[in-house]
Structure formats: C-alpha cells, structure tokens
Amino acid sequence: MTDDRKATLVHISGRVQGVSFRVWTRKQAQRLGLTGWVRNEDDGSVTALIAGPDGAVATMLKQFWDGPIGASVSRVDTEPAPAGELPSEFIIRH
C-alpha cells in the first residue's frame, strides 16, 4: 500500500441492521474505489474494513454517519488497520 492509501477498521452502532447497511456500504465503497469488507455483528452493530486513498476513506467515514434510508447511526468508531491481506474488491462478509 502506498503512502497515500490507508486502511481503517470502522465500528458503526445504532439502528444499522435490517436496513441494508451492508449493501449500501458496498455500493458506496465501490463508487469511491475502496476495497475491504463489511459484516454484521451479533450485538446489532456493523464492522467494516475500508482501504484506499486518504480522501476516499475520509469521505466514506463521513457517509457512515448518514447510512442508508432507515438507518440511525449513533456512533462511528475507527482505528487504523494493518494493510496486509486486504481483498482486491469490496465484499460483504456473512
């Protein structure tokens, strides 16, 4: 991964399951040219690993606060993620 790219692990809380949050995330990530994955968690939250150019990652982090219609996001927590073993596309994990 070059210096202008980064990987971020994101944990999104609120009403984020049952509103197509994962499908919406994949669509937004693909539009921004990001790679990574998104999955539902047992506690009702969603976790995503997003990787790509700094500007695209920053845009996606802002978009997480809106989410799809029907979502109500209460928290978006982030932490740097290692760049190793990233998917070559953006996938939904089950």
Mean pLDDT on 34-62: 97
Residue 2: pLDDT above 50? no
Here the tokens at position 23 are 């499908």
Given this model, what pLDDT does residue 30 score? 97
Q: What pTM does this model have?
A: 0.92
In angstroms, the CA 72 to CA 69 distance is 9
pLDDT mean across residues, the chain: 93
pLDDT by residue (tens digit) across 65-89? 999 999 999 999 999 998 677 788 9
- Residues annotated as catalytic (active site), given as ranges: 22, 40
Domains and CATH numbers, the chain: 16-92 (3.30.70.100)
